[in-house]
Amino acid sequence: MDPLLVVDDLHVEFRTDDGVVRAVNGLSYMVDRRETVAILGESGSGKSVSAQAIMGLIASPPGFITKGSVRFEGRELLTMAEDERRKVRGADIAMVFQDALSALNPVFSVGWQISEMFRKHRGASKKEAKKSAVELMELVEIPDATNRYRSFPHEFSGGMRQRVMIAMALALDPDVLIADEPTTALDVTVQAQVMQLLENVQAEFGMGLVLITHDLGVVAEQADRVVVMYAGRAMEKGTIDEIFDQPHHPYTEGLMNSIPRLDDLNERLNPIRGNPPDLLRIPSGCAFRPRCPYQQPDCAEVEPTLEFVGDSGRSTACHHWRDAFGE
């Protein structure tokens, strides 16, 4: 049986007046049912663009998918006719956006927006759609759902809005849910609730979850596997325990070291030196080279590809991982 969602060697670039911005450069990963894959990276690492490419939301021009493939249950999405593609969105693969206030239409009530999913895609009557929408609002733990049905997005708190977004994404019972920084705009306490909710609905619906985030804490609690992205490339892939216990890429190690420690308040923060690369001018060879404490002359010449570390399926894109991190 085909895996649920396979992203294979995805390349996305934006042709701007200043030059070609290579946002995603050969990203590959897969997600299966009941599995959570976290795409971890800082802003500009290409993680959101890769999600938009999967959904077919990249405006072209200026964006172009130049290479690679995205397969859902074995069907290629990138070459699919727009009409077919639209049916995949929402019903097979759904997406939750970062800022739920701007991702909800301000002029319609949230109940109307959720029930619209049932009316337009499932042909439900107004009454049925309303009933389903209220059930869904209860499922995502919105208190007093029957009355809140009529409320507008701006009348909700941030956490509640994100629940509404999740409810809309779940309406058509998708097989894959892509959550693009779902908790970034929220308070820390509310973040935990929304992440818990995502975990609950994943268990209930049995879908594959792609969690896009820059937050190591979010990744640690939720993900089965992690893809660490930098400059549009996967730097390291592995299970959550492998990545956290022993990073095998200098960038991952830098991320781990930059987490503030609660048990040692006097310690200074230990950030990664330098800045993320300008995607118009990605360094030759390894993109992380200018910031890497382990760099060698050959790093500038050959771009490292992902190579397996051990036999667990874990991989890293570093020429010198053996010297730096041992076998």
Residues at the interface with other proteins (CB under 8 A): 52, 55, 57, 86-91, 94-95, 97, 99, 102-108, 116-117, 120-121, 141, 143, 152, 154-155, 157, 159-160, 165, 168-169, 171-172, 189-190, 192-193, 196
CB nearer to other proteins: pick between 163 and 248 = 163
Min dist CB 89 to other proteins, Å, is 4
Nearer to other proteins by Cβ, of 137 and 171: the residue is: 171
Please, which residue, 106 or 297, has the CB nearer to other proteins?
106
Q: What are phi and psi of 316, to 5 degrees?
A: -140, 150
CB of 248 to other proteins, least distance (A): 34
Residue 314: CB atoms within 10 Å: 18
What is the nearest approach in angstroms of other proteins to the Cβ of residue 108? 8
Query: Given the complex with other proteins, which of 123 and 143 has the nearer CB atom?
Result: 143
CA trace torsion 128, 173, 202, 1 (10° rounding): 150
The nearer residue to other proteins, 167 or 255, going by C-beta atoms, is 167
Residue 21 or 160: the one with the smaller Cβ distance to other proteins is: 160
Are the C-beta atoms of residues 307 and 295 closer than 8 Å to each other?
no
**In sequence order, what DSSP letters do the residues of 109-151 get, joined into one string?**
-HHHHHHHHHHHHH---HHHHHHHHHHHHHHTT-TTHHHHTT-
Q: Which is nearer to other proteins, 220 or 256 (CB)?
A: 220
Phi, psi of 203 (to 5 degrees): -65, -40
Find the Cα–Cα–Cα–Cα dihedral 298, 24, 239, 220, rounded to 10°: 110
Strands lying side by side in the sheet with 36-40: 93-96, 176-180, 208-213, 36-40, 225-230, 233-239, 315-316, 307-308
> Residues 6 or more apart from 197 whose CB is under 8 A from it?
140, 141, 163, 166
Q: Is 44 helix (H, G, I), strand (E, B) or coil?
A: coil
Closest distance of CB 284 from other proteins, Å: 34
CB of 17 to other proteins, least distance (A): 17
Tell the smallest beta-carbon distance from residue 193 to other proteins (Å).
Answer: 6
Task: Please identify which residue in the block is written with the tokens 């979850």.
Answer: 209
Q: What minimum distance in Å lies between the beta carbon of 170 and other proteins?
A: 10
